[in-house]
Amino acid sequence: MRKARFITLEGIDGAGKSTQMPKIEAVLKSHGVEYVMTREPGGTPVGEKLREILLHQAMEPETEALMMFASRAEHIATVIKPALEKGKWVISDRFTDASFAYQGGGRGIPFDRLENLEQWVQKGFQPDLTLLFDVPVEIARKRLSKNESLDRFEHEREAFFERVRKAYLDRASRHPERFLVMDSSLSIEAIHAGIEQAISSLCP
């Protein structure tokens, strides 16, 4: 029996993560893998309350960064680690790379501060695989424009998302052992095929 895996999904808003979620579940089911699907910010009762504030209430960048990591501390301790210990795989729609991309790249919080929080909250714990849905900002924005209600992050300007995208790509090049960068400008089916291959290769 292989160990349970922790997989995270990342990318700028509108990259197509949510669209691929049911497809990821289908791959795991086809391999008979027990799993938990979760998200950040959120994934716990405390985290979901923090999410509501984070997505809709204006605040200082440092407050935002600390709340993201507060949600994460609760998530790791009460959901992610207990599931992995029971042999269940955990698939999280966003994790710490999003803090480096959005609060670091987007808002300008120094990366060494975020590294301190990462170390405090994670103590070396990292995903086994991070799927980065990478897409030019212009394409992501066109996709998002079909949505009726946008949250506080989705209202940001193009330059913000350019910085977020760059920070994600920098982080991927720094951690090539766990990142898989996917070309998310491709069709939904082509992206799914890439994901299927990556996840199947980890499955028992």
Cβ atoms of 24 and 91 closer than 8 Å: yes
Q: Does 187 bind ligand ADP (CB under 6 A)?
A: yes
- 98 is an interface residue for ligand ADP by CB under 6 A: no
Q: How far does CA 3 lie from the centroid of its chain? A: 21
What is the spatial distance between Cα 100 and Cα 115, in angstroms, rounded to a whole number? 9
Q: By C-beta, is 107 or 141 nearer to ligand ADP?
A: 141
Q: Which phi-psi region, left, alpha or beta, contains residue 71 (left: φ > 0; alpha: ψ -120 to 50)?
A: alpha
Binding partner at 15 among ligand TYD, ligand ADP, none, C-beta below 5 to 8 Å by kind:
ligand ADP
Length of the chain: 204
Among residues 156, 52, 57, the alpha carbon closest in space to that of 102 is found at: 156
99 binds ligand TYD (CB under 6 A): yes
Please report how close the Cβ of residue 30 comes to ligand ADP at its closest, in angstroms.
Answer: 21
CA atoms within 13 A of residue 3's CA, in its CB half-sphere: 8
Smallest separation (angstroms) from ligand TYD to the CB of 94: 4
x/- track of binding to ligand TYD for residues 59-98 (CB under 6 A): ---------x------------------------xx---x
Give residues 25-44 in contact with ligand TYD (rule: CB under 6 A).
39-41
Token pair in block for residue 183: 């070309």
184 binds ligand TYD (CB under 6 A): no
Counting contacts by CB under 6 A, is residue 163 touching ligand TYD?
no
d(CA 150, CA 131): 24
Retrieve residue 135's tokens. Answer: 């897409």
Residues that bind ligand TYD (CB under 6 A): 13, 18, 39-41, 68, 93-94, 98-99, 102-103, 151, 153
